[in-house]
Structure formats: C-alpha cells, structure tokens
Amino acid sequence: MKTIREIKSYSMIFSLKEDGIMEIHKIPGWNDTPTLAHAQKDMECISVLSEGKMYPHLCYLPDVVISREMREFYASHEPVSAATALIVKSSFQRILGNFFLGMNKVKVPVKLFGDETEARQWLSKYKTDVVSPRPLSVFAE
C-alpha cells in the first residue's frame, strides 16, 4: 500500500496510506520502554499527520508494553482516530488488551486482531472520505 504522508516520533512511525488508514509501527531497532512523554509526542505526531481529519488507525505494536499512566493518557485524550485496530501476537495479548480496554473506557471503537486483513476490513467502515495527496515526511523532535 502506497504511503501518502509519513511522520516519525522518538519511537514510532506514522504512515497515512492511500486507502485512508493510518498505520503505526515501532521504529525498527527501538527497544526502550515507552513513557508518558512518548505517548504525548505520539499524539502530537498523529495530529500533525492527520491535519484535523479522523482516520482509522492500524497499530502494529505486538511487543510494546504500555504503562498504566500511558493508558490513562490515551483514554482521557480527545480522540484522534475514527477507530483503532491493534495487531497482537497471541490470544493471551488479546485477552489482556481487552481487559485494559474495558477498564479505560475509550472514546472511539477499538478492537484487537491477530490478522491484518481482518483488521483492515473492520477499519474500512470508519474511513475518512478524502486523503490529501500533499506529501509530508518529517521527523518530530
């Protein structure tokens, strides 16, 4: 899938794809423990990349551990996505993820998947109509 625009934070790569879905990946080789500061910078990057539109997000973060402080921040923050699909590696991660989602009462639809195709199908009903062709490739510091 072709990338329309991309931005990087300290730890993540945010790519807006031509199908109207924003993909979120960990930067290859980044293995630090994420902090609240990372979460805050990531939300800033998403806001810059989306230019005020609410795109569905496809998150590939199967080995990233999110702290309670970060979960609370994400849950209390104003929504920046139309919906979020989280790709996980195992059924245990799905059970644990659903437990935490239930505790934090998120404001947009969030669902955990083991399969990217299923996640994209689910996200397709939350797509924004227009994707701007203007390129953006920056590193947010």
The pTM assigned to this predicted structure is: 0.80
Average pLDDT over residues 7-22: 92
Q: Can you give the pLDDT at residue 141?
A: 41
Beta strands at 3-8 and 12-17: parallel, antiparallel or unpaired:
antiparallel
Q: Which amino acid is at 53?
A: K
**Angle formed at CA 108 by CA 106 and CA 113, multiple of 5 degrees:** 90
**Angle formed at CA 127 by CA 37 and CA 106, multiple of 5 degrees:** 45
Per-residue pLDDT of 58-102, as tens digits, reads: 999 767 777 888 878 887 888 888 998 988 886 656 555 555 555
CATH (residue range 3-139): 3.30.750
Domain residue ranges in the chain: 3-139
Per-residue pLDDT of 95-136, as tens digits, reads: 555 555 555 566 788 888 888 999 999 999 988 654 444 444
E strand or H helix at 105? none
Of 7, 74, 14, nearest to 39 by C-alpha is 74
Q: Can you give the pLDDT at residue 34?
A: 87
Asked whether the predicted pLDDT for residue 140 surpasses 70, the reply is no
